[in-house]
Chains A and B, each alone.
Chain A
Amino acid sequence: MRNPGTKNDLRILATTLAIALLAFSLSSAYAVTEPLSASKNETIQTMDQELKRSLTKLRNANKAPLYYLAYRLYEGAWEKISATNGAVQDQYPNNTWRMLAVDLRVGTPKFDNTHFLRGKNSSSPHQYEKSTILTSTLPADGGGLPLQQCLWLKTDEAYKAAQQRYSELVANNEVMSAEDDKSDDFSSQPVHNYVSPIKQTGFDRALWRDRVKRLSMIFLKHPALLQNSTVAFVSEPQIRYFVNSEGSEMIEQHVDYHLMIVGSTLAEDGMALSLNDTIEKPDPALFPDEKELAARVEKLATKLEQLRKAPVAEPYIGPAILSGKAAAVFFHESFGHRVEAVHEKSENEGKTFAKKLGTPVMPSFLTVVDDPTIEKVNGEYLNGFYKFDDEGVPGQAVTLAKNGILTGFLLDRTMVQGFNKSNGHGRSSPGWNPVARQANLIVSADAKKQVPFQTLRAMLVSDLKKQHKAYGLLFDEIQGGHTYTSRGSEQTYYIQPLIVYKVFADGKPDQLIRGAEIIGTPLSALSHVIAAGSDRSVFNGVCGRESGPVPVSAVAPSLLIESMETKRAAKSFDKIPILPPPSSATTNGAAKQK
C-alpha cells in the first residue's frame, strides 16, 4: 500500500510498462457484443443481483449501517510482442485478466469508513481481487454463479473491514483534535446508465511481429548504441463494468494499442542513456505506415548517438525554455498534482492551494483546464479521455485557473471544503480506490500573449544578456517527472529531461548536453513563467499515485521561464563492453564444436 500523497509519478508508457506487467500479467478475448442497455449484459446482471442481495442482508447487520455499495469489474486482454536486434524477445498473446473492486461505505455520507485515519496515518485499504493470481477464484470470463460466489466473499471481507475501520475512526475522533476540513466524506450522484460502443479488438499478429522485428534492426546500424534497444507492440483493450447502490449501471470500453521504441546506450563515462518514443492509437489501423515508423526509430537512434557524445551538464540556475511537451509535464507536476482535491483535504497533505481559491497562483496570461471529454488535440489521441470516471460520475471539464487566478479543484465523490459535488475526476487503476486525479490537463496562453517559437528564443537570449549569463537551457524531450505533496515532505517537483540544449547568449550554435534534471518548488516555479509560444504539444503518459497508475495527458505551449534550476542526474558506473559486438560474419558454431 502506498503512503497517501507522498510521491506522484508521471512517466511515459515505455518506462512504466514493467510495472504494468507485474500488476496484471495476464488478460481477455472478451465476447464482442454491443448490448443496448447495461442491464441486458450477463455480467452486469450478476453484479446487480449480488449487490441487491448484499444491500438487503447487510444494510443493518452491524453497528454502522451500510449506506453505499459499488462493484467495479475490470476485464482486459493483454498482448505484447517485443523485438530486440531483429528477433522476437518475448510474446504474451491474448492473455485475459479481470480485477474486481468492492467500494463499500458504512456510517453516513457525513462520516464513513473511508475517512482518513489519523491515528494510523492511513487511507482506506483497497478491496480487490485479481484473477491472475493462481489462487484467485475470480472467473476471468462471464457472469453467473462463479462471479456471484466471488462477489459474495469479497463483499463480506470488505464489509467486516469497513466495520472495523469505522469503529477506529469514531474512537479517533473522540480522542483527537478537530480536523480543519469538516466537509462530508461522500456526495450523492444521479443515476447513470451508460454503455459505450464496444469495438471489436485484435490486430494482425504476423504483420506486427514482422514489423517490430524489422524496426528493431534499425538500431543495429548504429554501432555506438552499446546496449540492447527494443521495439514493442502492445495491445491493451479493457472494459469496465460498474454497478452501484444508487442504481447506476455502466459498461465502458477503452482500447489502447501502443508501439514503444526504446533505445539504450552507455556514454564513455558510464552514464546510462536511454530515449524513447511511444505511439498510441485506439485502433491498429491508425498507426503510421512502416516507412514513417522506421524514420522515427532512425531519428531516435541518431539522437541517442549524439547524446552519447554530448558533454555532461553542470548544475544551473537561470532562464530556460520548456518545449510544449516539457511545459506540459512541468504543469502536471507543479500545478496539476496540487489541485487534486485529496491533496487539499487530507490532514497529512501539504495543502499548497487549500486556501488560495480566487487568488493569483500563476501569471495572468495563463489558463488551465482539465478536460477528460476531449479525445484528440492536434490530431493526437489524448490518454486521459473517458466518459465516466471510476466512481461512475461523468467526466467534466474543470477550469482550474483562469487568467492566473485559482478557480477550481479536481474532485472525486469525497467532498472538500467549499465543494459538494464530484466533477468526474475520481480515477484509479483497476482494483484500487479512486481519488481525484488529472485526466487531460490543458494549459493555454492568452492569444495576444502568444509568440512564435523563434521570438521566444530571442526573448531567452535577451534575458541571458540582461542576467549576464553565457548560456540558457532549452528542454526539448521529457522522460517524465515526479513530485512530493505530503506535509512531511519538501513539496518539490522533479522533471527528467531526455534532450536538453545549451542556448548561447553570443549566438554560438546550440549544444546538446546530457545529465540535467529540473528541480523546484511549485509556487515559485509557476510565478516565473514569463512568456508562451503559439505552439501546442501533447504529452501522453501514465501517472502513478495512491490510486495506482492511470493514463493521463497534458497539453501546453512552449514556455519561457525566468529562472529554472537543474541538478546533476544520478549516474551508473559501468564501463563500456570490453569486446566489440560480435560480427555476424562469425558463424557456424557447429564447426567449432568439434
Chain B
Amino acid sequence: MISTTKIQLSRISLLIIIVLTIGHPACAASETDAESDAVLNALVDEMSRSFSDLHVDEHKPPYFVSYAVKEVDEVVYSSILGSKPIMNRSHDRIVTPIVRVGDYDLDSGYHVSSHTDTAYPLPIDDNYDAIRRSLWLYTDNEYKSAIRFLEWKKAYLSSNNVPDRLPDMSHEEPVQSLNPTGEVKTDSKWLETIQKLSSLFKSYPTLQKSKVSFINRTINYWYVNTEGSRVRDSVSRISLRITATAQAPDGMPIADFDVFACTDESKLPQFDQLKKCTEQLAQRVTDVQKAPQAEEYCGPVLFEGQAAAQLFSQVMAPNFCFAEDYIGEEDWRNPLKNAIGRKILPKTMTVVDDPQAKDSDGNLLYGTFKFDDEGEPAKKLTLVDNGVLKGFCQSRLPTRKNAHSNGHSVGGHGDYSILKVSTSQPASADQIRQQITELAKDAGLDYVLVVSRIYDDYQMQEYPSGQHRDMRPYVTPSYSLQPGSPGVVYKLYPDGKRELVRGLEFRNISLRAFRDIQAVGDDPTAQIVEPQDSAARALIIPSYVIGELELTPVKPDHSTVPIMPSPLVQNQNTH
C-alpha cells in the first residue's frame, strides 16, 4: 500500500499545491467556539476538579492551577546546491501544568533562574477523554512536587536570612479571549524557490557549504487558570534561511547567513529580491574569504544593520529580563536590577518593547504574540526613556519596583519580545562618518572599524528539537560578555574608502559600552535576532557608534583548506 502523499513526493511535480493536513483533517478550528472545543473543555474540567478535590493528608488543595497548551504544526523544506527539496513534517502538542500550593505571598513556585516549568505531551487529536486523562496524571505529579517544594521553601526561609522577600505571584485580572486556532498551510512554490535559490551557489566555487531552508510553523495556544482566564490564540512563524561558508587561504572558517522571517507567508520577499540577497550573501562570503587578516584594534566602532541588532541583543537586551529575586539563589542577580531611574544609555536614546510591533507596511513582525505564557495580554513597555531605565519585561513574578505582570512571561520568567531602539537625534550617514573620523583623529588612528554583520548561527529553532520542546534556554543577564565574532568588518578611512578585513573577535563588552554610544543613525532596520538559542524575534535598531572597543585577531586554531579542489571548480571547468 502506498499513501498518496508519498507518490506525489517521490515523483514530484513541484507545482502541486500541497495543503498540509495530517492527523485530523477537520481541526476546523476557525469555527471552533468554546462549546465544541474539546481541548478547552478538557482543560477547564480537569482544572476545576483538581482545584476542588486534589489534596492529600493535612496538605491543602492547590490555591492556583493553570494549564498552558502549545500545539506546534510545522513543515520544513531544505535544498543544497539545487538538490531536490526535501519536506519534513511534524505535529505535536505539549501542556505545561502549573499547580501551586500555599498562597500568593508564599507558594510552591520554583523561582530560580535555571528552572523551567515541566512540559508534558498531549494528544494531537481533539479527544476530550484522552486529554483529560493525561492532564489528570500530570496534575497529580505536579501537585506532589508542589507540596514538597513548598515545605523546602518554608524550611529554607526559617533557617536563612531573606530580607524584604517579595510575594511569589502577582494578583491579575482574569483574561477571556478565545481566538481561532489555525493549521499549517503552505504554498508548494517554496519548494521550487529554495531549490532555485540554493542552486545559485553553484556559481561561487570558493564556497564550501551552503543551504537554503524554509520553515513554516503554526503555533496554537490554549491557556486556562483557576482565576477564570480562558485564552486561545494562534500565531504563524515563517522563515527562510540561507547560509554559506568558506575557508580563507590560511584555513580560517568564514560563515555568513541571511534570514527572512515574518508572520504571513505571502509577506516574504519576492523571488527577485531573494535571489539578489542570495547572490549578495555568496559574494560577501567570497569577498571576506579573500580579505586580508586584520590587526589588533582599539578605538571607535560603527555598528550597522544586522551587527547593530546583534550586539544590542547579545549584550544589552538580556538585562531587560530576569529582574526577579530568587529564593535560594541570592547571589545570582541581574546587574540592572536596582538601576531603575539610572542612566544606562545616552540621553537621546529610547527603547520600547512591543510584542505587537509592525513593519512599515503594517504587518506584524516576527516574534509577535498577543498573550504570554501565563495568559496575560502582551503590553507595550518603555524600557529605557531618554537614556534612563524605566522597567523590565515581567511575568507574574513581582520585581522590586513593579508588582504586576506586563505580559512578557516565557515559561514563567520575563523575556523581551520585539525591541525598538530609537533616538531623538538621528544622524545621517555623512554626519556619522564625519563624527567617527574626528574620533579616530583624536585617538591617533588612521582608520576606524565598521562592523556590519556579527556571527549568529540562526538555527531558527524555537525549541532545540522536536522531542524536547519543553526545554527553553533563556537569555541570561550579565554585566559583560564576549559577543559573537564580527562576520563582516571594514576599515573606514578618512577619505570614505572602505577596506574589507577578516579575522577579528571582540574582547568582553560590558553594559558601560552602551553609555559610550557617540552617535545614532537615521537608518533603523528590523533584523532577526536569536539570543542564546532562544526563540528568534525581530529587533528594530538604527546604526550606532561606540566610542571605544577592543578587537583582537582570532586565534588560528583551525584546519587547513581542503587538499583537493572543490567539485564546484571541476564542474565549472567542464561547462
- List residues of A whose CB falls within 8 A of some B CB: 18, 21-22, 25-26, 28-32, 50, 53-54, 57-58, 61, 83-96, 131-132, 134-142, 144-150, 152-153, 155-157, 159-160, 200-205, 209, 213, 220, 226-228, 284-285, 575, 577-579, 581-582, 584, 586-590, 592-593
Which residues of chain A are near B466, meaning CB under 8 Å?
25, 92
Inter-subunit contact B54/A578 (CB<8 Å): yes
Task: Flag the segment in B299-307, B440-448, B556-564 that touches A.
Answer: B556-564
Cα distance A590–B24 in the bound complex, in angstroms:
22
From 105 to 153 in chain B, residues with beta carbon under 8 angstroms from any chain A beta carbon are 121, 123-125, 127-137, 140, 143-144
Inter-subunit contact A588/B41 (CB<8 Å): yes
Select one of A31, A61, A579 contacting B50, CB under 8 A.
Answer: A579
Inter-subunit contact A285/B1 (CB<8 Å): yes
Judge if B497 is at the interface, Cβ distance under 8 Å.
Answer: no
Inter-subunit contact B567/A96 (CB<8 Å): no
| Number of residues of chain B lying within 8 A (CB) of chain A | 85
12 pairs from A and B in contact (CB 8 Å cutoff): A22-B465, A53-B567, A88-B23, A93-B22, A149-B80, A149-B209, A149-B568, A577-B136, A577-B140, A586-B49, A589-B43, A589-B45
Inter-subunit contact A589/B562 (CB<8 Å): no
Chain A minimum-CB-distance residue to B5 = A94
Task: Flag the segment in B89-97, B161-169, B364-372, B425-433 that touches A.
Answer: B89-97
Known: A87-B123, A200-B2, A589-B44. A152 touches B566 (CB 8 A): yes
Cα distance A227–B137 in the bound complex, in angstroms:
7
Chain B minimum-CB-distance residue to A582 = B132
Chain A minimum-CB-distance residue to B2 = A202
Chain A: minimal CB distance from B342 (Å): 41
Known: A58-B563, A91-B23, A153-B209. A204 touches B1 (CB 8 A): yes
Judge if B243 is at the interface, Cβ distance under 8 Å.
Answer: yes
Please name 8 further chain A to chain B contacts, defined as beta carbons within 8 Å, in addition to the given A87-B129, A88-B24, sorted by A numbering. Answer: A29-B10, A57-B564, A58-B563, A61-B563, A89-B123, A134-B213, A134-B460, A590-B36
Known: A142-B84, A202-B1, A285-B1. A137 touches B10 (CB 8 A): no
Which residues of chain B are near A228, meaning CB under 8 Å?
133-134, 137
Judge if B491 is at the interface, Cβ distance under 8 Å.
Answer: no
Chain A minimum-CB-distance residue to B133 = A85
Inter-subunit contact B10/A32 (CB<8 Å): yes
Judge if B88 is at the interface, Cβ distance under 8 Å.
Answer: yes
Select one of B54, B91, B131 contacting A579, CB under 8 A.
Answer: B54
Which residues of chain A are near B202, meaning CB under 8 Å?
145
The 7 closest A-B pairs by CB, nearest first: A589-B41, A87-B130, A589-B44, A87-B123, A87-B127, A139-B83, A87-B125
Which residues of chain B are near A95, meaning CB under 8 Å?
88-90
Inter-subunit contact B83/A141 (CB<8 Å): yes
Known: A587-B41, A589-B44. A88 touches B568 (CB 8 A): no
Cα distance A593–B230 in the bound complex, in angstroms:
8
Judge if B555 is at the interface, Cβ distance under 8 Å.
Answer: no
Which residues of chain B are near A21, meaning CB under 8 Å?
467
Interface centre among B86, B121, B202, B460 (most CB of A within 10 A): B86
Cα distance A22–B467 in the bound complex, in angstroms:
8
C-beta contact mask, B5-44 vs A, less than 8 Å → 1, else 0? 1100111000000000011100000000011110011111
Inter-subunit contact A54/B564 (CB<8 Å): yes
- List residues of B whose CB falls within 8 A of some A CB: 1-3, 5-6, 9-11, 22-24, 34-37, 40-46, 48-50, 53-56, 78-84, 86, 88-93, 121, 123-125, 127-137, 140, 143-144, 202, 208-211, 213, 230, 243, 457, 459-461, 465-467, 559-560, 562-564, 566-568, 571
Inter-subunit contact A29/B82 (CB<8 Å): no
Inter-subunit contact A135/B2 (CB<8 Å): no
Cα distance A146–B212 in the bound complex, in angstroms:
12
Cα distance A191–B385 in the bound complex, in angstroms:
75
Known: A141-B86, A579-B49, A593-B44. A146 touches B23 (CB 8 A): no
Inter-subunit contact B41/A152 (CB<8 Å): no
Select one of A85, A147, A155 contacting B129, CB under 8 A.
Answer: A85
Cα distance A87–B93 in the bound complex, in angstroms:
12
Known: A139-B80, A587-B45, A590-B41. A579 touches B140 (CB 8 A): yes
Known: A25-B467, A50-B567, A202-B3. A578 touches B35 (CB 8 A): no
Inter-subunit contact B88/A145 (CB<8 Å): no
Which residues of chain A are near B461, meaning CB under 8 Å?
134
Inter-subunit contact A86/B130 (CB<8 Å): yes
Known: A145-B567, A587-B128. A593 touches B5 (CB 8 A): no
Inter-subunit contact A90/B121 (CB<8 Å): yes
Select one of B9, B45, B208 contacting A582, CB under 8 A.
Answer: B45
Select one of A148, A156, A285 contacting B562, CB under 8 A.
Answer: A156
Which residues of chain A are near B230, meaning CB under 8 Å?
593
Inter-subunit contact A146/B80 (CB<8 Å): yes
Which residues of chain B are near A200, meaning CB under 8 Å?
2
Which residues of chain B are near A584, meaning CB under 8 Å?
128-129, 132
Which residues of chain A are near B55, meaning CB under 8 Å?
578
Chain B: minimal CB distance from A480 (Å): 22
Cα distance A152–B121 in the bound complex, in angstroms:
41
Known: A85-B127, A86-B130, A590-B41. A93 touches B34 (CB 8 A): no
Select one of A61, A93, A226, A581 contacting B89, CB under 8 A.
Answer: A93
Chain A: minimal CB distance from B359 (Å): 26
Cα distance A31–B48 in the bound complex, in angstroms:
52
Cα distance A586–B50 in the bound complex, in angstroms:
13
Which residues of chain B are near A160, meaning CB under 8 Å?
559-560
Chain B: minimal CB distance from A234 (Å): 14
Inter-subunit contact A141/B84 (CB<8 Å): yes
Cα distance A100–B2 in the bound complex, in angstroms:
27
Select one of B3, B124, B136 contacting A91, CB under 8 A.
Answer: B124
Cα distance A413–B160 in the bound complex, in angstroms:
64
Chain B: minimal CB distance from A91 (Å): 5
Chain B: minimal CB distance from A52 (Å): 12
Cα distance A26–B45 in the bound complex, in angstroms:
36
Known: A25-B467, A578-B56. A145 touches B89 (CB 8 A): no
Which residues of chain B are near A86, meaning CB under 8 Å?
127, 129-130
Chain B: minimal CB distance from A128 (Å): 16
Which residues of chain A are near B44, meaning CB under 8 Å?
589-590, 592-593
Chain A: minimal CB distance from B257 (Å): 10
Inter-subunit contact B6/A202 (CB<8 Å): yes
Inter-subunit contact A137/B123 (CB<8 Å): no
Inter-subunit contact A145/B81 (CB<8 Å): yes
Cα distance A86–B127 in the bound complex, in angstroms:
8
Inter-subunit contact B457/A203 (CB<8 Å): no
Inter-subunit contact B56/A203 (CB<8 Å): no
Which residues of chain A are near B568, meaning CB under 8 Å?
145, 149
Inter-subunit contact B81/A149 (CB<8 Å): yes
Which residues of chain A are near B50, meaning CB under 8 Å?
579
Which residues of chain A are near B41, meaning CB under 8 Å?
587-590
Inter-subunit contact B563/A575 (CB<8 Å): no
Known: A86-B130, A160-B559. A586 touches B56 (CB 8 A): no
Inter-subunit contact A87/B131 (CB<8 Å): yes
Cα distance A293–B284 in the bound complex, in angstroms:
60
Interface centre among A139, A142, A160, A592 (most CB of B within 10 A): A139
Which residues of chain B are near A592, meaning CB under 8 Å?
44-45, 48
Interface centre among A29, A200, A227, A284 (most CB of B within 10 A): A29
Which residues of chain A are near B566, meaning CB under 8 Å?
149, 152
Cα distance A521–B273 in the bound complex, in angstroms:
68
Chain B: minimal CB distance from A138 (Å): 8
Known: A88-B125, A90-B124. A586 touches B1 (CB 8 A): no
Which residues of chain B are near A54, meaning CB under 8 Å?
564
Cα distance A590–B208 in the bound complex, in angstroms:
57
Which residues of chain A are near B6, meaning CB under 8 Å?
29, 94, 202
Chain B: minimal CB distance from A152 (Å): 5
Cα distance A577–B140 in the bound complex, in angstroms:
6
Chain A: minimal CB distance from B18 (Å): 11
Cα distance A146–B124 in the bound complex, in angstroms:
36
Which residues of chain B are near A58, meaning CB under 8 Å?
563-564
